[in-house]
Amino acid sequence: MLKGSKVGLRARHEDDIPILRTELYDDVVNSSRAEAGPWRPITPGSKDPRLVVDETTDRSVPFSVIELDGGTLIGSANLWGIDTHNRCAHIGLGLLPAARGKGYGTDVVATLCHYGFVVRGLHRLQIETLSDNTAMLRSAESNGFVREGVLRSSAWVMGAFLDEVLLGLLAEEWKPGAQGRTPV
C-alpha cells in the first residue's frame, strides 16, 4: 500500500465495489462532471473497468483510497493513459461525498505523484478537470501542477458545454512532501 499523510492507496477489494458504485458512480451529476463520456448505470456484478480491475492492461493502475486512520474506504484513484515511451500519464480521482473537503484529495494527488514519479519513473503527469472544479484545481496546484491551457467548451455536461483546464507537472518540478509527510 502507498501511504500519504492521511490516505492510503491500496488494491481494489471486492467489498469496495458496491460502495463505490452506489456512492460515486450512481451519482449522475458527479459522474457526468468527472468522466469524459455519458453517464450510464452500472449493473451490479458487471466488469465495468471503473470498478473491476482489468488485469489485461498495464496502461492503467486503479487504486482504492482509504483513510490511514481506521482504514475506511473513501474513494477511488487512478493513474491512467500510462505511456512508457513518452513517460507520461494522467491522474484521476473521486472521493465519496462524506470524504470531500477534508484535505484527502490533496493528499491523494501527492501520493499518486509519488507513485508516478518515484515508483514508475515517469517524467510528466497530467490532469484534466472542469474549470469550475475548484477543489480539484486546488488539489492539483497545491502539489505543484501548473495550468497549461483551457480546452474551451470541450466537455458536454448535463446540457451544456463547459471548459476544461489542462494541468501538468514535470518530475523535476515536483517537491515531494510539500503537502505533509513524503508518501512511501
Strands 124-130, 88-95: pairing is: parallel
- 13 binds ligand COA per the rule CB under 6 A: no
Is residue 65 involved in binding ligand COA (CB under 6 A)? no
- Closer to ligand COA at the Cβ: 135 or 151? 135
Q: Which residue, chain included where needed, has cell 493528499?
A: 107
Check binding of 152 to ligand COA (CB under 6 A).
no
Residue at 171: amino acid letter: A
**Residue carrying the nine cell digits 515517469:** 122
Interface with ligand COA, residue 113, by CB under 6 A: no
Name which of 59, 73, 60, 56 is nearest 7 in CA terms: 73
Out of 25, 39, 104, 145, name the contact with ligand COA by CB under 6 A: 104
24-43: contacts with ligand COA (CB under 6 A): 30, 33-34
b/e 68-92 (16+ beta carbons within 10 angstroms → b) = beeeebbbbbbbeebeeeeebbbbb
Q: What is the distance between the alpha carbons of residues 124 and 77, in angstroms, rounded to a whole number?
A: 17
- Contact call for residue 76 and ligand COA (CB under 6 A): no
- Of 43-51, 93-101, 114-122, 166-174, the segment contacting ligand COA by CB under 6 A is 93-101
Binding mask 129-148 for ligand COA (x = CB under 6 A): x---xxxx-xx--x------
φ, ψ at 126 (rounded to 5°) = -135, 145
Among 59, 102, 152, 175, which residue sits at the site for ligand COA (rule: CB under 6 A)? 102
Contact between 155 and ligand COA per CB under 6 A: no
Q: Does 110 bind ligand COA (CB under 6 A)?
A: no
> Distance (Å, rounded) from C-alpha 153 to C-alpha 163?
5
Q: Supply 96's cell numbers.
A: 465519496
Contact residues for ligand COA (CB under 6 A)?
30, 33-34, 93-95, 100-106, 129, 133-136, 138-139, 142
